[in-house]
């Protein structure tokens, strides 16, 4: 179990990198593996993660309705509520607001598809993580089995930061599971996709255990903003 609340921020400038899918899957797997209570925060205006959670039957992981300006207070409330892990999904963009979100991270996870366009787009994410002094972990995501470009992408990404030793491959079961608020682990815990998610979470968990703790409660911080906290069914869309 994590000794204190940890925060994972999924960030990538490139749209379609699989941030939302991985955010939901990692949060669910963390809960399944006993690292909870786990909460999700969706800072993407499109609200894809919130929409997925809204159709989910299992109330775990929890969902925290938040906005950029209230994120500090909402994370403070989450810690007081006893959450051990918060997973934050961000928009596919590079803005000052996203930089602020990254400032709360213990680790930043950047899903990256093995394509030239995706590889060329990693620079701004690297810059934000470095500017905030946060460890950045690339995850090669949506890869094709036995494709040469997958290994080439891992090598290219390693020039910019740490690459997770687990590759997540493209399979239709990821998209199919997300339709009704589930994950591949909840449909078939023994399938290859579920095993990859489990292995990825194990790696991230080990990194989180070594993290100093990016989230800090400032002395004399104000109480949480009452209009931004939601721990329960239905997230704003």
- Boundaries of every domain in the chain: 6-210
pTM: 0.89
Measure the CA–CA gap between 175 and 170, rounded to whole angstroms.
10
Measure the CA–CA gap between 62 and 86, rounded to whole angstroms.
9
Strand residue runs (E) in the chain: 6-10, 38-42, 62-63, 85-89, 107-112, 136-143, 162-163, 168-169
The Cα angle at residue 174 between residues 168 and 176, in degrees rounded to 5: 165
Asked if the model's pLDDT at residue 145 lies above 80, the reply is yes
pLDDT band (50, 70, 90) for residue 22: very high
Give 6-210's CATH code, choosing from 3.30.110.40, 3.30.56.10, 3.40.1670.10, 3.40.50.300.
Answer: 3.40.50.300
Asked if the model's pLDDT at residue 226 lies above 60, the reply is no
pLDDT band (50, 70, 90) for residue 2: confident
Measure the CA–CA gap between 66 and 216, rounded to whole angstroms.
18
């Amino acid at each position: 179990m994590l000794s204190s609340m940890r925060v994972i921020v999924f960030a990538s400038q490139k749209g379609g990198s699989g941030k939302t899918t991985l955010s939901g899957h990692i949060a669910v797997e963390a809960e399944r593996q006993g690292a909870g209570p786990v909460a999700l925060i969706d800072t993407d205006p499109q609200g894809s993660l919130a929409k997925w959670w809204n159709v989910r039957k299992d109330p775990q992981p929890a969902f925290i309705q938040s906005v950029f300006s209230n994120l500090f207070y909402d994370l403070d409330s989450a810690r007081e509520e006893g959450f051990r892990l918060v997973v934050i999904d961000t928009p596919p963009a590079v803005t000052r607001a996203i930089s602020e979100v990254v400032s709360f991270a213990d680790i930043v996870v950047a899903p990256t598809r093995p394509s030239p366009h995706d590889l060329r787009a990693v620079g701004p994410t690297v810059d934000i993580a470095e500017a905030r002094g946060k460890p950045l972990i690339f995850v090669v995501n949506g890869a094709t089995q036995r494709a040469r470009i997958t290994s080439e992408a891992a090598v290219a990404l390693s020039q910019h930061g740490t690459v997770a030793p687990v590759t997540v491959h493209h399979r239709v079961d990821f998209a199919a599971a997300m339709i009704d608020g589930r994950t591949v682990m909840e449909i078939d815990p023994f399938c290859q996709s579920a095993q990859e998610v489990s292995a990825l979470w194990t790696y991230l968990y080990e990194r989180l255990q070594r993290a100093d703790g990016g989230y800090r409660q400032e002395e004399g911080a104000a109480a949480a903003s009452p209009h931004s906290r939601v721990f329960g069914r239905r997230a704003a869309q």
